[in-house]
Amino acid sequence: MKPSVIRLALYEPDIPQNAGTLLRLCACLGVDAHLIEPTGFPSSDRAFRRAGMDYLDAVSLQRHISWMRFQEWRQADRGRLVLATTKAADNYTEFQFLPGDIIMTGRESAGVPDSVHEAADARIRIPMRSHLRSINVAVAASMLLGEALRQTSGFPAEPQGD
């Protein structure tokens, strides 16, 4: 499988259903997934399979045992880290995604720590009504991946008809 144009990183996810949904999305769209541990649930291949993650063999998944190890990988890869956060000033539809970008989502319960904010090359947000806290992380990542893949022509090729 060729590396994807855009990658998705899940920072210490709390909710297994969201992680499973995002891994399935990555499998279907051909997007490489990066899981930064620790997670708030058992995240071994066996645990994912037991939870019904039948797309696990179809996703390119790289696990990082810590934020520090992810950062080491990212520095060697030279991927631009684009953090999805409600604290960003930049709207994701006005952001210019580039091939090789790594879109990162935070923990459902707490987002990401300040050190991750500081390490991000860009921070983007989804505009929403001000009195509401946030959008579900799987829905938000889907919106961001859709825009990033559209901009970079990264969607999988349509299957040819009979």
- Whichever domain contains 20, its CATH number is 3.40.1280.10
Q: Is residue 46 part of a domain?
A: yes
Q: Is residue 96 part of a domain?
A: yes
Q: Is residue 32 part of a domain?
A: yes
Provide the domain count of the chain: 1
Closest listed residue to residue 117, CA positions, set 74, 73, 86: 86
In angstroms, what is the C-alpha Rg of the chain?
A: 15
Domain that holds residue 39: 7-151
- The reply to whether the predicted model has a pTM over 0.95 is no
How far is the C-alpha of 104 from the C-alpha of 2, rounded, in Å?
21
The pLDDT tens digits of the residues spanning 12-24 come to 999 988 998 999 9
The pLDDT tens digits of the residues spanning 69-97 come to 999 999 999 999 999 999 999 999 999 99
Q: At what angle do helices 16-29 and 137-151 cross, to 10 degrees?
A: 20
Which two structure tokens, joined as six digits, stand for 21?
């949904």
